[in-house]
Every structure is written in structure tokens, then in C-alpha cells.
Structure 1
Amino acid sequence: MEEKKHQKHTKLKRRENENFAPNEIAILGTKCSVIADFVQKMSQNLQKEAKIGYLDASHSDSEMQQDYDSFVFHHSGSLETTIKTELNEYNERIRLSQHDLVFINGNHYQGEKQILILDNEKEASVKKRLDQLTRIQFIIKLNDEVDYFDCLLEKFPHIRNIKVYAMADEDAIARHINNLIQEKIAPINGLVLAGGKSTRMGQDKTELDYHGKPQRHHAVQLLERNLLDTYISVASGMASEVDSIIEDKFFDLGAFGAICSAFQHDPNKAWLVFASDLPFVDSEVIQLLLKHRNPSKMATAIKGKSKTFVEPLITIYEPKAYPILLGYLAQGYACPRKVLINSEVEIVEVDDDLIRNINTPEEYQQALKEING
């Protein structure tokens, strides 16, 4: 009889990280100062499209003597941190989870993807790091005189087929890097919230008929018409054989728990969360939200034009929102609106009536009159 293998931990779907971040590229082949200058220029070029990080090693000969961690905020909106810590790939994946791309100084650390800079003065350095060149995205020639080193031609016989730029081709290089960022943007799934208690309505709000069918099914079809793989979020124990469902794994946390449960189901997707009590939301609103999606921020949210705060239950939550949500939960907060208010969010404004919640029988009857003319 074959012995059943013991599984110690619950098997969860993992975030698709590279060595240190969800999307990283190491730069190697030249001096650290040239790499740092290159990163600065590329970051300046890409700052409107993406959030960029840079992982490097200290080049100081003296060890930091500070006996405390410091967090120095500047009034311009920047933070300088100095922390006593060891490099740890798991912790860096948390620290760098908010970045769309992390550049890595390849002279010190290995990245999943690479940019190779050809510099005649650094042939020995390249030869020493040949095994780190696993996924070269493109090559940059530091000057016109430089050519491929023999060690590169021997290790990579087809290296001349890889795209080559001159160092001065900054705009073209930035476009190439931006394409690498765009390739990693998460696909969007739909999540229709249907696990609420509907206390004020006195009956299940998801079963109410505004458009010739239960609102739950109308909401699913609305998202599917916009080409989203869509799931229904339900309370634990309410599984359906008909619908694609995600059961709440974070009990008694309402919409907050539903969003976290969706990310636990698949942390590599963005989730367009859509409440079942918004009968005036139509395909145009969904398309507007999708059109203005900003994946460099943690979410893209709808806000009524005269409202102070965004509506958290018609919002696209990016994968980078998941660790933020869990961080708020660890502090005892389970309000998605509080998370959005205090985070980097893209806001899309619409008329207030389009995102009006229907919570009571009286509101339901009034909504029916308006929808049916």
C-alpha cells in the first residue's frame, strides 16, 4: 500500500515573483556608476507610466554605525529610509511588491532578466558573470568601438540576433523597457459580490430583478460582455453548482473579506469588484473604468462627481493591493474604502446616480420605476 504523502502546509496559489520582485531586470557589463546613471535616466523617462525601483549594494567602505532604523520624510513627498537588515528574497518581494519594475545592479545581485551593456573595460567582469546571463532582453553598446567579446560568442552563438542599442538611444531603450512593463500587467478577472446579508432589504438583494433577470446574473453578464472571466463571491457554505464562485475564506469581513478571498484564489490577477446592489451601473461605466485603469497604482476606483470618497465596490484592485489589504487587516481595519482613501488610487468620476446603492424595498421600487421609464 502506497503511503500517503503528508502535506504540512495548506497549498496556496503563489504570487508569480522573480528573484526579488514581480518584475525585475538586472543591468550588468559596465561600472556601477554607469549603471546608476542609466537607471536614473530610464526612471525619469518612465515615471509617468510606471513605479520604478532600484536594488543595489552599498559602495561605502565603512559600515553603517547607526543603532536605529530611520524614516526621514521630506515635504515634497519622499521618504528616505535607513534600516539595519540582511538581504532576504522573501522579504524583498514584500518590500518591492508595489513596483512595476525593479532595476537591479547586476554587478552585485542576479536578476531574472538582464540588460547587457558592452564595455571594453569590463570584459573580465562579463566573463565572470556569464552564468547570470539567462534571459538577455537587449544589449547596449557603451560606444561605437565596442564589439562582442569572444566569451559571449562562445557561450551564446546567436547573441548577434539580440536587439542592440547605442547608449545614446535613450527614448528607444525606454520604449523597449516600457514594453517589458506592459507585458507584466495582470489580466483582470471580474468579482460580483453576492455574500451580503441584505438586512435592510429583507430579502436577498442579488435575487432582485431590475433587468429581466436576478441582479447577480445581470452583473455577471455585464462583466462577461466586457471580456472578463467573472466569479461570484459568496459566503462560506453557499456554493453553487451553476456559477463560478469564490467562497469567503476571511469570515465575517464582508466585502473586504471577499476581495482578499479573490486574491487568495489568484494573486496574479487584478480583480474588478462589482457589488450586486448597483443596478444603474451599465456597460458604459464598466468600459470607462477599464479604459482609465492605471496598473501602476494599487487600484482604479469610481467616484461620484459630488462625493467626497471613492466607491470601493466598483473598483479594479491590482495584485499589488493584496499585501496592502492584508497590512490593514493586521492593524484591525477591514474597510476597503479606508484602504483606498489612504493609498495611491486612480480615480474615475461619474454622475452620482450611476453608482447609487439600493438597500431598502422603497429604494427598490423607486429604482424599478426609473429603469423601466
Structure 2
Amino acid sequence: MSTEKTHQKHPKLLRPQLGNYARAEFALVGTTCARIDGLLEEWLPQLSESFRVLTVSGKHGDLPGHDARRVGEKLMNDSPSTWNEYDDQLLGKEYDLVLVNGNHYPAARQIVFVDPKKAGTLARRKEQLTDVAAVIFCPGAEEMPDWLQEHLAAGPRVQGKFEDSHNLLLPLLRSEATAHRPPLKALILTGGKSSRMGTDKSQLVYRQETSEVDRMIAMCRTAGLEPYLSVAAVTDSADAAVPQITDRFAGMGPMGAICTALLMEPDTAWLVLACDLPLLETDTLNALISARDSRKFATAIKGASKPFPEPLVAIYEPRAYSRLLQFLSLGRACPRKMLINSDVALLEIEDETPISNANTPEERARVLTTLGARK
């Protein structure tokens, strides 16, 4: 047997589960563009109340030869650039749901409109009908064409008339976007140097002869989250039942640990916890989980008297990965800087005790005094 190792040119990475654009996407195909674009325009604000939604349509009429973006009173015009399917995914993965005018572009799932006026358009896109979720009959259409009936085989889940399309399709879209909401896991940061404390903060004991890392693990499990340990290097001393994630952004501190978790599991949201919060309890974690807004880059806790959110008691959505890397590209390796300057949800708490850090022996002594007073 040959012992020669197979050369691997690139590291193996998990890829996010995307279609042409996003985790949840639909192409609306088979009727007029005016009707499709009208539905997209009408649905966008309704769906945006719960999800981050992108619509994709085609060119209708003359458009300017440059891209324009308005932010408040600031108008920026961009020079034309190339675009390909990877750009579609780089844009689309930031959204919970992408709705596409299928007369122009395909998507992983389809909503088919049977319209006598556009029968040829639909027939020409037969090969794009790979996963039909619904068939809607436009005025004048009573049944599916024979070729479509045969093509669909088992048939779609939803059928109905165009006048009922809102009641039929909006629940379908909401259900699909909800089903693809990233699951939430916990990332406990144990890879720091603890230089100010002078000893490993994760192994400190504040109560009941339980180390802080073990207490954090138990809290996460009580809150219904699967815990993972962020480590600088794999160690045998940790709880064998808790997976370890070795930092792949060495020297970047918590920012590197968060990016590593999002890199290793790109379809997962992470509740990130530092090990220097000995007064944090499960009720605060439950409140943060309840406040989660998956439309945002992150959901973070902020003390009522604090000017900024706490980056290490926060939920980071998969879309935060690109945002964190963008901040790294600007030479900013502080996750709080990203939170302050990004679209995030904040859970403000009046009692700031749970987010009181213990980074030094003096702060540890104050925590022990506080815990002693509670007995």
C-alpha cells in the first residue's frame, strides 16, 4: 500500500447552504413582469417586518450606466463593475429571504404562475423549474398545461387562484424563511492569556467548587444551547463532551475567536460568552436569547449607564462574519467597534451586575465579596 499523502492545495472549509443567492429563495415565473414586480413591491415591506428580504428583478426600460446608492442626504454614484454568480451569493447570503423575478433569473425554488398570456415564457423555462413550491392560476387559466403537470410529478404543496395569492403565498414565504433561520449555539471564550489576572480566568472558582468554564457550560445547557469552547490549542483537560474550536485567526483576540466559529459553522449563529463574567446568570442569557433579532448583524446587551454594548455577551448572526472581516480589513480588530457601527439589536439592562467583568485580582476580590453578601 502506498503511504504517499494526497496533496491538498486548499484547506477544507464548510460552505454555507445557499441556493443561487441565499438559504431561502424563490423565483416567481410565468406571468407578466409587471404583475411579478408588483407582488415583490407589495410583499417587501410586509415580509421585512420579520425578515431581511432582497428582491431581484430585470432591466425594464433605460437605466443609468452607473450604480447609485443614497444614504440619508448622501448620494454616491459608483462606476460600473463586473458581476458573476459568486457576487450574487456574496450579496444574497446577507438576507433571510430572496425573491426573484423568474422571467429574468432563476432561483433554487419556484412559484409558478399559469398565465395564458405568458404560456411561451413559462415553457421556455421548463428546465429552471427544479423545486416548485406553488402554482398560481392567473385569470383565464383553469388548469395546468399537460407538460407542466407531467414535469411536476408529485405536484406542488400550494395551488390556488391569483386573487388568493397573498393568503396562499405569504405564509409559505414566511414559513420557508423561518425554517432557514440559523440555529443558535454557544461559544465560550477560553483561549485568552488572562495576563491581568495572572492565572487562567476560565479555571477560577467563585462558588460551589465549580470552575467558571464549567459553570458557563452548565448555564448554556440550561438555556437550551449546545456549548463549544474557543481555544488557542486543543487540550485534553476540557470537558470531553464539549467540542473545541481552535482559533484560526491567531493573535486577533475575541474578534479572531468569533470569526473562527463563523468560519467553521457558516450556517450557525453564536451566543458568545467571555469567562470573566462570574455574576452572569441563566436568566440574563434567556433574556438575550428572547431578544434575538436575526435580521441584524448581532444582538448584544448594553448596560443602561454604559455608552456601548458588551461584545462578549452577544449573539452574532452568520451575516456578521463578512462585517467582522470588513472591519479587520480596516485594521479594526475590536468586536465592540463593529457592534457600535453596525445594524445591531440591543438589550438594555438596568441592573448591570451580570455584565461586571473580573479581569484583575482586585476585581475578583470584589466579586467574591458580592457573592458572600448574597449568602
TM-score with structure 1 setting the length = 0.92
Q: Is the 8 A contact 2:114 2:141 kept in 1?
A: no
Q: Is the 8 A contact 2:271 2:314 kept in 1?
A: yes
RMSD between aligned residues: 2.1
Amino acid at match of 2:267: N
| Cα distance change, pair 40–246 in 1 and its aligned pair in 2 (3 A) | same
* Equivalence for 2:226: 229
- 7-16 or 251-260: which moved more? 7-16
* Equivalence for 2:70: 72
Instruction: Please state whether the residue corresponding to 1:12 is helix, strand or coil.
Output: coil
* Equivalence for 1:94: 90
Deviation string 1:141-184 (CA, Å, 9 cap, x unpaired) is 2236442112211222433x531233333244222211110000
| Cα distance change, pair 79–25 in 1 and its aligned pair in 2 (3 A) | farther
* Equivalence for 1:185: 181
Shift of 1:71: 3.5
Using the alignment, how far apart are the partners of 2:100 and 2:78 within structure 1? 19
Over the matched positions of the two proteins, sequence identity in percent amounts to 35
Shift of 1:98: 1.8
1:206 aligns with 2:202: yes
Instruction: Please state whether the residue corresponding to 1:293 is helix, strand or coil.
Output: coil
- 23-32 or 169-178: which moved more? 169-178
Amino acid at match of 1:221: A
| Cα distance change, pair 65–254 in 1 and its aligned pair in 2 (3 A) | closer
- 251-260 or 165-174: which moved more? 165-174
* Equivalence for 2:335: 336
* 1:122-201 alignment runs, 5 A limit: 122-143=118-139, 145-159=141-155, 162-169=157-164, 170-201=166-197
* 1:1-373 alignment runs, 5 A limit: 1=1, 4-60=5-61, 64-66=64-66, 70-75=68-73, 84-143=80-139, 145-159=141-155, 162-169=157-164, 170-212=166-208, 213-236=210-233, 238=235, 240=237, 242=240, 243-350=242-349, 351-372=351-372, 373=374
Shift of 1:330: 1.1
Amino acid at match of 1:131: E
Using the alignment, how far apart are the partners of 1:187 and 1:54 within structure 2? 24
Using the alignment, how far apart are the partners of 1:56 and 1:111 within structure 2? 12
Using the alignment, how far apart are the partners of 1:83 and 1:282 within structure 2? 51
Using the alignment, how far apart are the partners of 1:95 and 1:81 within structure 2? 19
Instruction: Please state whether the residue corresponding to 1:20 is helix, strand or coil.
Output: coil
Shift of 1:140: 2.1
Q: Is the 8 A contact 1:23 1:101 kept in 2?
A: yes
Instruction: Please state whether the residue corresponding to 2:163 is helix, strand or coil.
Output: coil
| Cα distance change, pair 147–258 in 1 and its aligned pair in 2 (3 A) | same
Aligned residues between the structures: 367
Amino acid at match of 1:219: M
Amino acid at match of 1:103: L
Instruction: Please state whether the residue corresponding to 1:168 is helix, strand or coil.
Output: helix
| Cα distance change, pair 44–65 in 1 and its aligned pair in 2 (3 A) | closer
Q: Is the 8 A contact 1:24 1:101 kept in 2?
A: yes
Q: Is the 8 A contact 1:301 1:310 kept in 2?
A: yes
Shift of 1:20: 2.2
Q: Is the 8 A contact 1:301 1:347 kept in 2?
A: yes
Deviation string 1:29-48 (CA, Å, 9 cap, x unpaired) is 11111111111111121121
Using the alignment, how far apart are the partners of 2:76 and 2:289 within structure 1? 34
Deviation string 1:200-230 (CA, Å, 9 cap, x unpaired) is 2121111111232110110111111222111
| Cα distance change, pair 172–153 in 1 and its aligned pair in 2 (3 A) | closer
Amino acid at match of 1:147: E
